[in-house]
Amino acid sequence: MTTTKAPAYDERLTAPRVWWLIAFLFGVSLALIFLPYGLIGALTGLLAGTVLGGFVVSNQGSMRIRVVAGLLVVGDARIPLTALGEPEVLEGEEARAWRTYKADLRAHMVMRSYITTAVRVEVVDPEDPTPYVYLSTRTPDRLAEAIRDGV
């Protein structure tokens, strides 16, 4: 019998509500474009545009971050906690700086512009060319604590 350990940290970065409104408004704009073809054309444009916009929002706005079983799991990446150094909580201007002019192109970065806080963790594995991991998160203190406690 196998048992799975509950994640020490689990967060889904979802798109803000206004993005969903924009997806709906995209559907409305397509409905207006197809309105000259009649009511069926307008309803088809509304449905197709809203579904397409919703798909884009869901795809671009969703990412899951977990700390479980000695791993930091970010999307498809699985990083052993033993390969990570001390996590650093970033807020406001410091988080923006690491997203922009302080950023290293070799870093593994999960950035969400609508989230102003982040955690930056050095990669201490000498075999890994990645200098650090940058993760946008709504609860940086909890994520940093889970990374520290998970080692």
What average pLDDT does this structure show over 132-143? 93
Nearest partner of 118 among 8, 13, 18, judged by Cα: 13
What average pLDDT does this structure show over 55-65? 86
Answer yes or no: are the C-beta atoms of 49 and 94 closer than 8 Å. Answer: no
What average pLDDT does this structure show over 104-112? 91
Instruction: Look over the chain and give the mean of its residue pLDDT values, rounded to a whole number.
Output: 90
What average pLDDT does this structure show over 106-120? 91
| 3-class SS of residue 34 | helix
**Residue 22: how many CB atoms within 10 A of its CB?**
14
pLDDT at 4: 58
First-residue to last-residue Cα distance in the chain: 25
122 CB-near residues (< 8 Å, 6+ apart): 84, 85, 86, 131, 132
What average pLDDT does this structure show over 132-149? 92
CA distance 78 to 70: 10
Answer yes or no: are the C-beta atoms of 110 and 90 closer than 8 Å. Answer: no
Task: Look at residue 151 and tell me whether its pLDDT is greater than 60.
Answer: no
Q: Which helix (H) or strand (E) holds 12?
A: strand 9-13
Q: What percent of the chain lies above the pLDDT cut of 90?
A: 69
Nearest partner of 136 among 11, 9, 6, 7, judged by Cα: 11
Q: For the chain, give the number of residues.
A: 151
pLDDT at 97: 92
